[in-house]
Amino acid sequence: MKAVRVIEGGRPPEIVDIAKREPGPGEVLLRIGGAGVCHSDLHVLDGEVLLKGPFTLGHENAGWIEALGQGVKGLMEGDTVAV
């Protein structure tokens, strides 16, 4: 799968491949339908907020549950979610 990865604030982000893994206990795997980049992310990109990278932008997400890890209750595969 692809991710927009920031290596260092103030530098352009890179699109990288990251490994997809099955969810562990208490985790869910989401198929993202949309991701937002908020002002906090933009401040990091502009180098105004200094964070040690690498990290992935776009923490405002919506999509569907693709897989459930052991012990997850109250959710089902196919449920729509916002993160």
Say how far apart CA 58 and CA 36 lie, in whole Å.
5
Q: Say what the pLDDT of residue 10 is.
A: 75
Say how far apart CA 59 and CA 38 lie, in whole Å.
8
Q: Say what the pLDDT of residue 6 is.
A: 84
- Report the CATH number at residue 69: 3.90.180.10
Provide the domain limits for residue 47.
Answer: 2-82
Mean pLDDT by 10 residues, the chain (83 residues): 81 88 95 86 80 79 96 97 93
- Number of domains making up the chain: 1
Q: Say what the pLDDT of residue 80 is.
A: 97
Q: Say what the pLDDT of residue 75 is.
A: 97
Q: Say what the pLDDT of residue 53 is.
A: 76
pTM of the model: 0.71
Sign of CA dihedral 28, 32, 38, 42: positive
